[in-house]
Structure 1
């Protein structure tokens, strides 16, 4: 039995209890990275099971990114740690046929806070933990593309991911001299709890390519909006 080759590189993955986030943590571990992954709350998750078999290379932290005070406490717990990658994975959706004509204000607010505001607050709060030539990535979606929206559907989800993209562009513009690489990643339509059973991609088809794409941009700087195959997504 061969052992996993190890590296001194480390990743902080926000939102890694299940789905794409858990798969990201597993993929980076398989590539020899050290990983810190977060869950919401204190219950047992798949990330804890993964940590049990990680030979100490996976650390589990708890944070609800919609609560700024919890993000600040997480920063304090991780102070002094330098990560090569900060990746924020967060997403909720609503019904595909629900439009702005009938969505409740509470649902609209929940999607915007969870999918756009909170991920960017995490980026702002934790960016100083990322190495000067490191990478900051956020899980976006191809449905966040305004230019590619020719069929409609998932209106509020689309709007929340478009808002996320715009906020990331503003972040990049404010920090034009920052050498870190900034990425918005569209993982494809994947069979997860969020993507549903009709999605054409499995997690195993998407996530290794996502990691390949992130790795290919390492050290390049600037902001890019890319899909899981490394192709540019239209804004």
Structure 2
């Protein structure tokens, strides 16, 4: 394991589920962590209070341009070794013909557009050699889409992956490691109680990947074990 005692991470979307456990795991490994929540933080706030200053909570509704700009202003001068954006919603297992325009827009904005806007707004805080990572899903893999179901969610994650690909092309020379991470099927409000993994199992593996890939060039789409996920 690398020496992370002086490193700092920003985890976007950490009020519950994967983001919460990710922030906690980074803190456990002696990273200093800034983590965002949409409201008062709840469990995240309690963990921050017990962290001896290693975990700090900031407020952010990621779909709000004004809140994103305000967060960027509050973080001015901060140096990040890791920027990790975690966001996803699901509005049910409907064929695309039954999805309303409003629902389509909501899911695409939350799962694809807002994460990339967040990365764009905060990327200049990431140090040379730092990492920009986004929580994706193998559900966004076009080549692995061989079973029916969850068409809108799959489309939103595929859009996220494509936007991140465009981002990595535009900033190919910025020196940042760029990662799309598939965390596995987890027992979260999104993944459901019957999922085979818990966040307590998957997030340590994800942090292993983040630490192992630090300094790698280009964009990679990896799972929680560091294996390549096909596009």
TM range (shorter): over 0.9
In the alignment, which of 6, 14, 17 is matched to residue 15 of structure 2?
17
In the alignment, which of 81, 104, 110 is matched to residue 78 of structure 2?
81
CA contact (8 A) 2:183 2:206 kept: yes
Is the aligned partner of 1:224 residue 2:223? Answer: no
Tell me how many residue pairs correspond in the alignment. Answer: 229
Q: What is the deviation of 1:202?
A: 1.1
In the alignment, which of 96, 116, 129 is matched to residue 120 of structure 1?
116
Give the match for residue 47 of structure 2: 50
In the alignment, which of 169, 173, 179 is matched to residue 173 of structure 1?
169
Q: What is the deviation of 1:177?
A: 1.1
TM-score normalised over the length of structure 1 = 0.95
RMSD: 1.1
Distance (Å, rounded) in 2 between the aligned partners of 1:175 and 1:101: 36
Q: What is the deviation of 1:118?
A: 0.1
Give the match for residue 69 of structure 2: 72
Distance (Å, rounded) in 1 between the aligned partners of 2:47 and 2:4: 17
Distance (Å, rounded) in 1 between the aligned partners of 2:130 and 2:88: 24
Counterpart of 2:161 in 1: which secondary structure?
helix
Give the match for residue 31 of structure 1: 29
Counterpart of 1:48 in 2: which secondary structure?
helix
Q: What is the deviation of 1:46?
A: 1.0
Counterpart of 2:186 in 1: which secondary structure?
coil
Counterpart of 1:127 in 2: which secondary structure?
helix
Measured against aligned partners, the alpha-carbon deviations of 1:76-124 in whole angstroms (never above 9, x if no partner) come to: 000000010000000001212x011101111111100000000000000
Q: What is the deviation of 1:152?
A: 2.1
Q: What is the deviation of 1:6?
A: 7.0
Q: Any gaps of 5 or more consecutive residues in structure 2?
A: none
List 4+ stretches of structure 1 deviating above 4 A. Answer: none
Distance (Å, rounded) in 2 between the aligned partners of 1:152 and 1:74: 39
Distance (Å, rounded) in 1 between the aligned partners of 2:225 and 2:82: 19
CA contact (8 A) 2:41 2:57 kept: no
Counterpart of 2:129 in 1: which secondary structure?
strand
Q: Any gaps of 5 or more consecutive residues in structure 1?
A: none
